[in-house]
Structure 1
């Protein structure tokens, strides 16, 4: 799988005693759902995922949820056997912006203290503006972006020692030796062509075909500026 720096933030939050819900904001297709699944399933025996866009297009179980009792009842209809103790149960509310009233409900779910929660969404700024009561004291909001250049290097098999050296020299504005310079610039040119959307990177790694990558980029609804080389 692709190395994503935000995994460390997710794991640290889930392993902490924090009484806040981690709310991951980011454009569509940057990998929010995948990385939460990966981290959540490693840490919790019972991982429950609810996609609110899918719910809004289907059964609409959560459309009229107003209380924690309503939420538990709707949740039990799709994952009742996994609703066990807080210590081994994580509930992932994906695409929460589809139902802005659930953002308000997060505060009361946290206070009820029955399960661990994590949420993600796109255009959360817009959803928060539509929310009558924003539970800022109950959420920790973080932003997820496409892969930056450092993550792209990891994806291409560059080891941690090399990346650490590159990072230190970059920060100190020190030059690289000629062979390292040309190799790094080659990776950077590929990064500029491929970009940082996970599907595009995976396609490039598998096929080494820029035409296939372009097809994925054309289908991607949202693009964002991607960072160069950042620290962990």
Structure 2
């Protein structure tokens, strides 16, 4: 079984006695159902799982369920013998987005407090935004992502002692020895190929066959593209077009979305597609990075909507699109191949999975910095520059950025393939894999590095 960090969160919530219902959100195929089932069956004597998509395509028992009493009646038809009491009965509502009215019903199930509940679904961000009565005080919504790099290390046999030791070195800004660095870079490059989707990782671990991995990634990419247009008939072609453009946008110098390219119509602006962007982001299949021209803490106050970067939620899908079955382009670190977009995708997915809201610096005269994150400890922004080649010390825009006294920058990071850790002024150079130890903290208020 693949180790998932969210397991401890689910277990702690279910054992806390909280009346709030845990709602696990996330894109398809990130492992929501599996991990909830694993924890639920282990903790509860009576585990009842109901897949609402299957119900909507079959008996439709829950299609018109609006009251707690009606809900219990329908559940009893499926698993009446397992409906005991709150302490030993967990009811898992999977794919709850199939019936948006059940999201409203969660409030009343929580108040009734007869059983323990947990729910999950894809496109929940979209569904909740379209739900007239959101049960905000009755649910705890947590987003689940594909496996991050640390979880990938566990999947490949690295133990907690080794990872804890690396974390301590990172905290002290110490480099790994050369043999360990080489091992980490080898695993990092394999992560670029395999990504973090559980099916792709399990296929890689069992078969070591890149073609099998690519087939899984391609299938899931197609699922995502279908999901992107399934729930919005009016705008589905524009949503699909924006999603399909993400890889090619990543290969452009600026990497940001160009509104006029979406439908190849001059005069179109970001405002014309704001709903479509929000749809892709809420669905969890696209990761957004917003532009900042005045990087003053907190960054959200000066973010702009008109300049936006979108990344795929899984780096394995991206490398499959860009390089197909040719693994040498990544494993051999080919000089002719620019992995900038691939490295940026990994950093985006790591930081978002670890609790950060992402921004980038864009200034017409002063250049661009890849990422900005908030540091609540120093009440300042922290710039991060991502380098995939040998010229990792060349970053004129970052140099100008950290020297601007109006921005009050205390520290900055450049991540690259380089093993050695060094500092020059406010800029610290660290190996790319150390990004796995950047965490916003459970309360989102303390930057840990």
Q: Greater helix percent: which structure?
A: 1
SS of equivalent residue, structure 1 residue 87: coil
Structure 1 segments, 4+ long, off by >6 Å, are none
Tell me which residue corresponds to 1:22: 22
Tell me which residue corresponds to 1:206: 206
Tell me which residue corresponds to 1:89: 89
SS of equivalent residue, structure 1 residue 106: helix
More deviation, 161-170/179-188: 161-170
Number of aligned positions between the proteins: 232
- Normalised by the length of structure 2, the TM-score is 0.51
CA displacement 1:10-35 (0-9 Å, x = unmatched): 00000002110000000000000000
1:182 paired to 2:271: no
Tell me which residue corresponds to 1:101: 101
- Normalised by the length of structure 1, the TM-score is 0.97
CA displacement 1:114-166 (0-9 Å, x = unmatched): 10000001111111122111110000010100000000000011011111122
Mark the runs of 5 or more structure 1 residues left unpaired by the alignment: none
Tell me which residue corresponds to 1:165: 165
The residue correspondences of 1:98-137 to structure 2 (distance < 5 A) are 98-137=98-137
1:3 paired to 2:92: no
TM-aligned CA deviation for residue 171 of structure 1? 4.1
TM-aligned CA deviation for residue 39 of structure 1? 0.2
Tell me which residue corresponds to 2:401: none
Tell me which residue corresponds to 1:224: 313
Give me the CA root mean square deviation: 1.3
TM-aligned CA deviation for residue 168 of structure 1? 2.7
CA displacement 1:83-134 (0-9 Å, x = unmatched): 1111110000001111110011001001111100000011111111221111
1:60 paired to 2:60: yes
Q: Supply the distance in 2 between the matched residues of 1:210 and 1:169 (Cα, whole angstroms).
A: 33
Q: Supply the distance in 1 between the matched residues of 2:40 and 2:74 (Cα, whole angstroms).
A: 21
Which protein has greater RCO, CA pairs closer than 8 Å, 6+ apart? 1
SS of equivalent residue, structure 1 residue 180: helix
More deviation, 161-170/3-12: 161-170
More deviation, 151-160/162-171: 162-171
SS of equivalent residue, structure 1 residue 229: helix
Q: Supply the distance in 1 between the matched residues of 2:216 and 2:156 (Cα, whole angstroms).
A: 19
Q: Supply the distance in 1 between the matched residues of 2:76 and 2:159 (Cα, whole angstroms).
A: 45
